[in-house]
């Protein structure tokens, strides 16, 4: 025991040897941090190897024998912990190689009831055999499943976990067709992402059974819903729509969803005139989004609209009738941004619907026009005694003007975060 008058010894990072600090720093740059740290020192090795939770994150490339051997070690050291597994295969194979991969895959299949998080990445033609072993399994503890097809070639749908996955809540498919009819376990999903999906009949059937969904990401570029989707608990909806179709009906696409709890919606592929028409639409008797507070519109493509078209006549302001609670509007790389913003954010009376927040990332050639509309909006809000919205601007647009000179308090936001969400797989 320390003497009462003595200052107790406190172990700090500064007390560690320089060589150990350097080794820890180097380990932090490794892909497999736990593997590297276990080689830093005998003490670290004892702690790392003896902590099963640190070995429960498995990533294996089945074309690599070394990767498979490390997988075996991780499975052993993780003991009975739930496993998060990323399975990869990206090379072309002959029949003998396929047999070897299936044999290696069996090592993880044996632990299927320990897997709670599973991502399968396939990167070569004919590699659907990597999914086949999961067809007739039961996955008792699986909560999160991603199937990512990196080659953009869509083979036929493959049934997964036909014997049940009662705990599955998260499903993401990328360039992978939905099974039809859908498996029973889709009824328990709360999070569904269908990216680059092209099978409409399965889509309607699946959403018809996903009544518990809270989050939905849906790519409608090559398909569409034929039936109304009743999703009573849905809170967030992300849509990708066909940006190059002249006759695309944004209003019909949005109102096909019956989502009384929806709070957030983001759509990629839309144009400024379509957005104005949507915000101006009158509400059919059976269509409303009473809880929607945040709408984001993005176009990750470059369109020639402002060269080839004129913005529709704004005889009256958008009523927000479909979206009575709307308070936040985001426009990222949207054509006609200045026209749209003028119709939405520049009041002409004290009865104007007022936004709380507007996030703007206009195209560079629209900076001046959007800047002028923001200044007009400030003067109009003051004239009519209305609360001025909070403007959040992309870094480039934020630096385009000295906003403080106009007594406008603006904040910064990063549009790349929004765009990346639509592009990621």
Instruction: Indicate if 255 and 303 belong to the same structural domain.
Output: yes
Instruction: Indicate if 257 and 226 belong to the same structural domain.
Output: no
Instruction: Indicate if 81 and 226 belong to the same structural domain.
Output: yes
Q: How many CB atoms lie within 10 A of CB 304?
A: 8
Q: Are the CB atoms for 38 and 49 separated by under 8 Å?
A: yes
Report yes or no on 375 lying in a domain: yes
Dihedral of the alpha carbons of 168, 172, 177, 181, in degrees to the nearest 10: 30
The residues, ordered by sequence, that sit 6+ positions from 99 with a Cβ below 8 Å of its Cβ are: none
Q: Which residues of the chain have pLDDT under 50?
A: 1-10
Instruction: Indicate if 43 and 123 belong to the same structural domain.
Output: no
pLDDT at 286: 76
pLDDT at 151: 80
Q: Which domain holds residue 63?
A: 57-234
pLDDT at 9: 43
- Cα angle: 34, vertex 120, 51; to 5 degrees: 20
Spatial separation of the C-alpha atoms in residues 185 and 166, rounded to whole Å: 6
- Pairing relation of β-strands 191-195 and 115-122? unpaired
pLDDT at 3: 47
Instruction: Indicate if 192 and 68 belong to the same structural domain.
Output: yes
pLDDT at 8: 46
- What is the residue whose two structure tokens read 């328990």? 188
Q: Which of 234, 263, 291 represents a domain boundary (last residue)?
A: 234
Instruction: Indicate if 211 and 66 belong to the same structural domain.
Output: yes
CA 128 to chain centroid: 25
3-state secondary structure at position 358? strand
Instruction: Indicate if 296 and 377 belong to the same structural domain.
Output: yes
Instruction: Indicate if 222 and 345 belong to the same structural domain.
Output: no
pLDDT at 1: 44
Q: How many CB atoms lie within 10 A of CB 274?
A: 25
Report yes or no on 188 lying in a domain: yes
Name the pTM for this structure. 0.87
| Backbone phi, psi, residue 290, to 5° | -65, -20
């Amino acid at each position: 025991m320390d003497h009462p008058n003595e200052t107790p010894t406190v172990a700090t990072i500064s007390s560690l040897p320089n060589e150990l600090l350097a080794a820890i720093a180097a380990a932090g740059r490794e892909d497999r941090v736990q593997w590297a740290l276990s080689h830093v020192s005998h003490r670290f090795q004892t702690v790392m190897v003896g902590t099963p939770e640190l070995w429960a994150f498995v990533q294996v490339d089945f074309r690599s024998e070394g990767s498979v051997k490390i997988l075996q070690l991780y499975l052993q050291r993780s003991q009975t912990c739930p496993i998060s597994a990323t399975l990869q295969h990206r090379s072309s194979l002959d029949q003998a190689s396929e047999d070897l991969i299936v044999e290696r895959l069996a090592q993880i299949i044996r632990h299927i009831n320990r897997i709670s998080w599973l991502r399968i990445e396939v990167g070569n033609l004919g590699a659907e055999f990597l999914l086949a072993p999961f067809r007739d399994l039961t996955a008792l503890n699986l909560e999160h499943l991603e199937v990512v097809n990196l080659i953009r070639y869509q083979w036929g749908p493959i049934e997964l976990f036909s014997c049940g996955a009662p705990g599955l809540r998260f499903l993401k498919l990328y360039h992978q067709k939905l099974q039809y009819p859908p498996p029973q376990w889709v009824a328990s999903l709360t999070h569904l992402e269908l990216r680059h999906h092209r099978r409409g009949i399965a889509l309607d059937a699946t959403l018809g059974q996903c009544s518990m969904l809270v989050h939905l990401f849906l790519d409608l570029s090559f398909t569409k819903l034929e039936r109304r989707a009743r999703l009573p608990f849905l809170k967030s909806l992300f849509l990708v729509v066909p940006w190059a179709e002249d006759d695309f009906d944004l209003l019909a696409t949005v109102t096909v969803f019956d989502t009384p709890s929806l709070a957030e919606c983001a759509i990629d592929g839309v144009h400024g005139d379509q957005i104005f028409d949507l915000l101006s639409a009158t509400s059919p008797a059976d269509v409303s989004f009473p809880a929607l507070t945040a709408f984001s519109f993005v176009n990750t493509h470059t369109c020639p609209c402002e060269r080839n078209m004129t913005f529709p006549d704004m005889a009256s302001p958008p009523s927000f009738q479909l979206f009575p609670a709307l308070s936040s509007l985001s426009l990222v790389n949207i054509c006609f941004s200045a026209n749209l913003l003028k119709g939405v954010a520049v009041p002409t009376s004290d009865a104007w619907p007022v936004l709380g927040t507007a996030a703007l990332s206009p195209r560079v050639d629209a900076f001046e026009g959007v800047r002028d509309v923001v200044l007009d909006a400030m003067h109009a809000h003051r004239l009519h005694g209305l609360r001025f919205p909070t403007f959040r601007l992309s870094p480039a647009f934020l630096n385009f003007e000295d906003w403080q000179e106009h007594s406008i308090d603006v904040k910064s936001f990063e549009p790349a975060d929004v765009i990346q969400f639509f592009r990621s797989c």
